[in-house]
Chains A and B, each alone.
Chain A
Amino acid sequence: MGEQILLQMKNIHKKFPGVYALKDINFELHAGEVHALLGENGAGKSTLIKVLGGIYEADQGEIIIGGQKVEIHDVLSAQMNGIAIIHQELVLVPHMTVAENIFLGREPKKAGFVNHDKMTKEAQILLDEYDMHIPADSLIKDLTIAQQQMVEIVKAISFHSKILVMDEPTSSIADKEVAFLFKTMKTLTESGVGIIYISHKMSELEEICDRVTVMRDGTYVGTEVVKETTKDRLIAMMVGRELENYYTRDYQNPSEVILKCEDIDDGNMAKGASFELRKGEIVGFSGLVGAGRSEVMKCIFGLTKNYTGKIYLDGKEVKITSPVQALRAGIALVPEDRKLEGLYKVQSVEFNATIEVLDQFIKGIRVDGAKEDEITQKYIDMMATKTPSLEQEIGNLSGGNQQKVMIGRWLATNPKVLILDEPTRGVDVGAKSEIYSIMNELVKQGMSIIMISSEMPEIINMSDRIYVMANGKIRGCLDHTEVTQETIMKLAAV
């Protein structure tokens, strides 16, 4: 691997009204390397990438590509300079074919009309070159997320891009597809492309990245060679201090069974799951994507109406066919996909925090504003949420703080059983650790928690017991004293 410097970003500054987003950032990318960009949410990673991609213009600083200073004013000039960005939210046109997407805006023409045959043929050659088994004439909407990502990559290659930026490409694809993505990335770097890789997942760094640059609060912290550094050191660089207790957990002796479910079956993904939850314990639900974990919980929370099976709460059978009934019975669910299923993005923190408990301060047409503030403040404090004010639009908070508001929203309903579906997805390390210690505090006070998580370390370190699911059924239950990644995987992979 050569040490040829592909890209240098020197002393980059960027200010927004009220926020100093980038302070004197330096970044360097070699040809043929995968360079990770690491930092908590709000550290300035995306801003830096947007400067590189021409979406924002830097106030100060210079960008040097291949030894020459370049000016990047807009997306087009970024493309001209060989920069391609694959955003977290894919930007393909769903109702057009793969080939049409790849050549969008520069379609091969024949007598003024688009030459479809030539376009499809050329696209197929590109796709085949990287062993992607995708027909060039299939519609984007019929592809999986992972396949769509591949199309984005091919599109970038077709521009002869030398610098490829990937923003959390693995956040929504399965393990097998991740392996293929990494293989494709290796092929690319061997041909001299430099890849900037943004990810929250530490484990991926070792697997795919050569160097890592850490950012914090809009400043440059340092660059490390992945092989010569440790996870602890990187976390310390990200949060600015050593996290002593990343996981806080005081195991107790859980007492009586509070929730018992028998043969929960939604006729689709959940196929007869039975389990118990005791007072004061955290029960983890592990399994591969598609194992039916979220689907079982959706039955218990009443989001799925036509399911079979029995639910016992405090020993009595309860009928739950709507979230309202679940909440009344004392079951709350914090959904998996915050953006899609939780947030009212254009509304305030206060609106978001209190939407479940309007009854507590709205009586008929009398709104008790003081009570509303009090409830909001209580859960903001409890969750250690950082927000400039209660009126702040929630969309402007970081992912971690949004998640804290979400958890607070359902805690406000005073549940006996709290179901957390991927509670720390897209949450930065500092906030993650805080969420863990709050979970610990809650069970100490006698609440019972079900946690669905795809993060092995999290589920192993936080749960009293772990149910492992596969194909809609419970495959086994492991106690925290005996659990390892291997025992979980043995049960999960069927």
Chain B
Amino acid sequence: MQTSAVTKKIKTYFKDNLGIIVAFLVLCIFLSVNPITSSSFFTTKNLFNVLRQISTNLYLACGMTMVIILGGIDLSVGSIIALSGCVAAGCVSRYNLPLPVAILAGLIIGLLVGMFNGFVICKTTIPPFIVTLATMNIAKGLAYVYTGGSPVRVVTKEWQFIGAGYIGPFPTPVIILIVVLIITAIIMNKTKIGRHMYAVGGNQQAAEFSGINVAKVKFFVHAFSGVMAGLAGIVLASRMYSGQPTAGDGAEMDAIAAVVVGGTSMAGGSGKIGGTIIGGLIIGVLNNGLNLLNVNSFWQYVVKGVVILLAVFIDYIRNKKSK
């Protein structure tokens, strides 16, 4: 009984995400057999490297999946990365505070911006796109103000452990990623607020009739997205040995890409974290593969755009057929 339920879940997972799983596997196989990359792609070092790189994007994508399920969008996450990274780095290098305090400060920065987004979105009818566009600029501006435009360097060993270190054989960000994914999956699938997210995103008016506290759900989701961005900021600042006001530029778009490639509908009301994971992996492996293939970085943008479109297109065709 228990096992059959689990196999059923796995089956539906593969069925729902068939298009992108196939795309992902094709990509991996191509990189494994291609003479230029075959020696470098399928190595532990490189794979861990890929995972380390996609970690920060997937932290953001966890929050973004929820936001998009609500039918909204969060453009401020990229700027939160910069602000939280700079503040956390500043805590260590400028004020000589202990590492946990710095981490906490970074997370709180993310939480505050997210809560602010949530507050405005709940209390007004200003579209999330506009609200987060504004906070995106505000957060970015504050990061520049705080740093004066130059990086905040941190050279302590403990600091580098978060983004560039290892726990056993595993890169620290990957361990953090696993924890974050488990938490996100639990919230989305196992809690009341998770169900309420799908309800609010699917039909807000119906959610009100169902006695769901719509404002509370929106507030929570935006706050969560902010915290995830705060976390990404700390990890990235650690990996770069410095908090940089330019960090996270355009990161919100990569996160949105992962979510959308993962099959979450921009219309809201549907989507799964499992899809987002594959979406993030595709984008990560693609970036890595293009680098290994020595593709000109200008062309990488073009290829990435085409692949995003293709991946979504496959699912579009499949959905159209099944209807």
Contact = CB atoms under 8 A, between A and B. Distances in A.
What's the dominant secondary structure at chain B's contact region?
helix
Contact of B202 (A322, A346, A369): A346
A356 B199 contact: no
B269 A335 contact: no
Contact of A344 (B190, B202, B322): B202
B211 A345 contact: no
Given A342-B206, A343-B203, A351 B211 contact: no
B116 to A, nearest CB: 25
Interface in A311-346: 322-324, 326-327, 333, 335, 340-346
B211 A17 contact: no
Nearest to A367: B190
A362 interface: yes
B205 interface: yes
Interface residues of A, number: 30
A326 B210 CA distance: 11
B211 A356 contact: yes
Given A323-B208, A335-B209, A344-B269, A362 B199 contact: no
Contacts of B205: 340-341
A128 B283 CA distance: 60
B206 A303 contact: no
B206 A340 contact: yes
Contact of B189 (A303, A341, A343, A367): A367
B45 interface: no
A419 to B, nearest CB: 11
B209 A303 contact: yes
Given A303-B209, A322-B211, A355-B210, A346 B192 contact: no
Interface string A343-377: 11111000100011011001011110100000000
A176 B120 CA distance: 44
Contacts of A333: 209
Contacts of B190: 362, 365-367
A355 B208 CA distance: 12
Contacts of A327: 211
Nearest to B192: A358
B295 interface: no
17 contacts: A303-B208, A303-B209, A327-B211, A340-B205, A340-B206, A342-B203, A345-B202, A345-B203, A346-B265, A346-B270, A351-B198, A355-B195, A358-B195, A362-B192, A365-B190, A365-B191, A367-B189
Interface of A: 17, 302-303, 322-324, 326-327, 333, 335, 340-347, 351, 355-356, 358-359, 362, 364-367, 369, 409
Given A17-B322, A323-B209, A359-B192, 18 more contacts: A323-B208, A323-B211, A335-B209, A340-B206, A341-B206, A341-B209, A342-B203, A342-B206, A344-B198, A346-B270, A351-B198, A355-B212, A358-B195, A362-B195, A365-B186, A367-B189, A369-B5, A409-B210
